């Protein structure tokens, strides 16, 4: 079993996954199974043969498998890149309490974070255009009326910043006790406090948003975005949250391309930067010792955000 990330983590290992597959989806019984090191905080990941991926929720009462099973087939028809295609849903069994899924394997490499000291890159500018295309297509997707009654699509990341203010202030204080965290938390606090005073976009429409467009959820082939992963934060609400990855993924020039393509006004852009701060700080307080790659990616994000809005 990999690092324990959550207090209520469900024990998952290869033997359990093999049992679940063999008893519930026997058509995949002959496929070799391999645990992946690059596993997420929501799901444990196992490669199944050359073409499939098994995803099992780490915590009880997770709703992301059901949400993705319901909404990804609808969204996939409108998006310019690949998204996970679920080919099988497993039920609780063998002592495991959650539903789980098998999706098609998607090839590619994550782009990695862009640190403040990194030089301007044409590849980052290309990614900025590609990711903007994805967000625009997602925003333009007509949301069925049923989305407004689906509680799994009403996540905090689609709400206003002020609703996350108390938790962000707590996270800032907790970050002060992390001795190896070398960032200007006073500056982060100022930026956050200024952002929560900004007006929301007038009459902002409720739109689909991904909610977690960061390096680990993007796949690239030949320097082009080819797939977006992990729709666990998928929601319908204020889509400003989908700007926050700009401070992890892009240099200043690429961020400007991204902002221009999305026609983000000053208020929306600054609120996107505030989300970058909030998401980074929550990562540090929760995953500092358990997810080093994510920690380093969020360090790049928060340093870029503190360095400037551009």
Domains belonging to the chain, first-starting first, are 14-104 (3.30.200.20), 122-307 (3.90.1200.10)
In the predicted model, what is the mean pLDDT of residues 220-228?
Answer: 98
Does 21 score more than 80 pLDDT?
yes
Does 2 score more than 60 pLDDT?
no
Does 99 score more than 60 pLDDT?
yes
- Residue 197 pLDDT: 92
Mean pLDDT for the chain overall: 94
Running DSSP on this structure, what letter comes out for residue 118?
S
- Residue 1 pLDDT: 44
- Token pair belonging to 240: 């400003």
pLDDT per position as a tens digit, 189-217: 999 999 999 876 665 678 999 999 999 99
- Residue 204 pLDDT: 63
Running DSSP on this structure, what letter comes out for residue 47?
E
Phi, psi of 301 (to 5 degrees): -60, -50
- For the chain, percent of residues with pLDDT exceeding 70: 97
pLDDT per position as a tens digit, 40-94: 899 999 999 999 999 999 999 878 899 999 999 999 999 999 999 999 999 999 9
Does 106 score more than 90 pLDDT?
yes
- Residue 138 pLDDT: 97
- Residue 309 pLDDT: 67
- Residue with the bigger pLDDT between 163 and 2: it is 163
**Run of H or E including 189:** helix 185-196
In the predicted model, what is the mean pLDDT of residues 259-278?
Answer: 97
Cα(103)–Cα(89) distance, rounded to whole angstroms? 9
- Residue 143 pLDDT: 75
Alpha-helix residue ranges (DSSP H) falling in 7-97: 14-24, 64-76
- Residue 310 pLDDT: 74
Q: pLDDT-derived band of residue 12, with 50, 70 and 90 as boundaries?
A: very high
Predicted TM-score (pTM) of the model is 0.95
- Residue 235 pLDDT: 94
Please, are residues 75 and 153 in contact by the beta-carbon 8 Å criterion? no
């Amino acid at each position: 079993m990999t690092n324990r990330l959550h207090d209520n983590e469900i024990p998952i290992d290869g033997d359990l996954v093999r049992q679940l597959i063999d008893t519930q989806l026997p058509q995949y019984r002959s496929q070799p199974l391999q645990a992946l090191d690059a596993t997420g905080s929501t799901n444990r990941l196992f490669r199944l043969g050359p073409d499939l991926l098994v995803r099992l929720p780490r915590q009880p009462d997770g709703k992301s498998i059901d949400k993705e099973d319901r909404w990804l087939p609808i969204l996939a028809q409108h998006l310019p890149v690949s998204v996970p295609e679920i080919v099988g849903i497993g039920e609780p069994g063998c002592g495991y309490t959650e539903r789980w899924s098998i999706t098609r394997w998607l090839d590619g490499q994550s782009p990695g974070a862009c640190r403040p000291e990194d030089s301007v890159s044409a590849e980052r500018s290309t990614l900025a255009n590609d990711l903007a295309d994805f967000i625009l297509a997602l925003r333009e997707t007509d949301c069925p009326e049923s989305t407004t009654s689906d509680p799994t699509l009403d996540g905090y990341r689609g709400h206003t910043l002020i609703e996350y203010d108390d938790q962000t202030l707590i996270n800032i204080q907790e970050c002060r006790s992390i001795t190896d965290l070398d960032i200007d938390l006073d500056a982060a606090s100022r930026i956050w406090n200024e952002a929560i005073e900004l007006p929301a976009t007038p009459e902002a429409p409720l739109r689909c948003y991904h909610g977690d467009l960061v390096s680990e959820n993007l796949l690239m082939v030949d320097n082009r975005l080819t797939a977006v992963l992990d729709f666990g934060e998928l929601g319908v609400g204020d889509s400003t949250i989908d700007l926050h990855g700009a401070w992890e993924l892009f240099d200043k020039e690429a961020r400007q391309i991204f902002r221009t393509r999305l026609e983000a006004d000053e208020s929306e852009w600054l609120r996107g930067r505030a989300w970058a701060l909030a998401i980074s700080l929550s990562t540090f307080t929760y995953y500092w010792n358990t997810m080093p790659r994510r920690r380093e990616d969020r360090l790049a994000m928060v340093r870029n955000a503190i360095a400037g809005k551009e």
